[in-house]
């Protein structure tokens, strides 16, 4: 099976991280994961992903600095899908230029649709079949 793209999942909750990693892997994505900012930074330096999915509420700094941390390491070249439980945090991040925040709790269909929309087409070589399936269902 052709891989759909490389995703880095950064989530400090072990259960949520495992669920995201397993679900996305079963859908055909190559998935790496980290549990904190240090792990995220190491993974970004080692190999930039096609998409970063990251919990805003990580340790070692407020969520509002997350975008700056990623841009400092990789520039603006890494698309981000941030996860949060707080609608005000999502609005604040939108003002910083973030294109998309997924509010927790979210359904797997919402996750998969969001991921398919945010993986750059050059990583896929074609339109994401998953988006067509989820979006058309």
pLDDT band at 126 (very low <50, low <70, confident <90, very high): very low
Kindly tell me if the per-residue pLDDT of 65 is higher than 70.
Answer: yes
Residues 79 and 44: their CA atoms lie apart, in Å, by 12
Of 50, 48, 42, nearest to 6 (Cα)? Answer: 50
Higher pLDDT, 67 or 52: 52
Residues 131 and 125: their CA atoms lie apart, in Å, by 14
Percent pLDDT > 70 in the chain is 76
Percent pLDDT > 90 in the chain is 42
Residue 136 — φ and ψ, nearest 5°? -90, -5
Residues 47 and 106: their CA atoms lie apart, in Å, by 28
Residues 126 and 114: their CA atoms lie apart, in Å, by 17
Mean pLDDT score of the chain: 80
Q: Is 27 helix (H, G, I), strand (E, B) or coil?
A: coil
Classify the phi-psi angles of 100: left when phi > 0, otherwise alpha if psi is within -120 to 50, otherwise beta: beta
When pLDDT is averaged across residues 71-82 and rounded to a whole number, the result is 77
Surface-to-core class of residue 132, CB atoms within 10 Å of its CB (0-12 exposed, 13-18 middle, 19+ buried): exposed
Entry field: residues in the chain:
137
CATH of domain 6-136: 3.40.50.2300
Q: Which of 1-15, 21-35, 112-126 has the lowest mean pLDDT?
A: 112-126
């Amino acid at each position: 099976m052709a891989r759909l793209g490389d995703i880095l999942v950064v989530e400090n909750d072990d259960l949520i991280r495992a669920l995201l990693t397993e679900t996305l892997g079963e859908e055909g994505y190559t998935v790496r994961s980290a549990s904190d900012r240090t792990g995220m930074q190491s993974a970004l330096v080692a190999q930039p992903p096609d998409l970063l999915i990251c919990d805003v509420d990580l340790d070692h700094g407020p969520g509002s600095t997350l975008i700056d941390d990623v841009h400092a390491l990789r520039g603006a070249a890494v698309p981000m899908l941030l996860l949060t439980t707080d609608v005000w945090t999502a609005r604040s991040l939108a003002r910083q230029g973030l294109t998309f925040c997924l509010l927790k709790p979210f359904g797997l269909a919402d996750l998969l649709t969001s991921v398919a929309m945010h993986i750059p087409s050059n990583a896929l070589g074609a339109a994401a079949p998953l988006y067509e399936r989820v979006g058309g269902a």
